[in-house]
Structure 1
Amino acid sequence: MSELQNVPVTAVPKDARILDVREDYEWEAGHIDGALHIPLDDLPARVDELDPDEDLHVICRSGGRSQRAAEWLEGNGYTAINVTGGMGSWLEEGKPMVSEGDNEPTVL
């Protein structure tokens, strides 16, 4: 098995396929527009929603859950890249985010 690739938020390509593995309430507070949301605990049951031929940049709040998700995906034949620093770093870098509802996007 290959060693898991880790990249900072500044190295995520604009057209990257992003998988957000945070909980629903975290996603609703603020997320990357166009990202796919599958909470970490739901990943095994919903893995068929992912394209095994697509590189996935996996993100969570700070990098722990995304690390576990990326390792699991890699072990199941997917190409997964862990986004270190997670959504906290995404917000700090001023990268665009959206939220569900009228509130300003934030990271919980």
Structure 2
Amino acid sequence: MSDVPETSVDDLPADAVLLDVREDDEWEAGHVEGATHVPLGEVPGRLAELPEGDPLYVVCRSGNRSGRAVAWLNAQGLETVNVAGGMRAWAAAGKPMTADSGRPTVI
């Protein structure tokens, strides 16, 4: 995915607008506070619901699904950037997460 722009969790701007493309159970287990959740398979049909970001940063569990989302979204004319390593890298870096119930984790 060398043609997909990406950044590390450490280089992510503090005011980054995040789109989380993981599945519902993954989101519920733990996510970044303030991120917008749209599962990857629903992105094409929910473009109007995506947050405005300049650029919009896209995250999944490890960076693969978000990389596919970034490639597709950029082809649609949006400016998006993949978060390398995804939520696994986020958690490993000790970044804050929240969960719908219980202790936040990455599944």
Normalising by structure 1, report the TM-score: 0.93
1:54-96 deviation line (CA, Å, top 9, x unaligned): 3111000000000000001000010010011000000000000
Q: What CA RMSD, in Å, does the superposition of the two structures yield over aligned residues?
A: 1.2
For structure 2, the 5+ residue unaligned runs are none
Greater strand content:
1
Q: Which amino acid aligns with 2:95?
A: K
Determine the C-alpha separation between the residues in 2 that align with 1:52 and 1:63: 21
Normalising by structure 2, report the TM-score: 0.93
Which residue does the alignment assign to 2:106? 107
Percent pairwise identity: 49
For structure 1, the 5+ residue unaligned runs are none
Residue correspondences, number = 105
How far is the alpha carbon of 1:49 from its aligned partner?
1.3
How far is the alpha carbon of 1:99 from its aligned partner?
0.1
1:32-71 deviation line (CA, Å, top 9, x unaligned): 0000000000000001112566311100000000000000
SS at match of 1:62: coil
SS at match of 2:56: strand
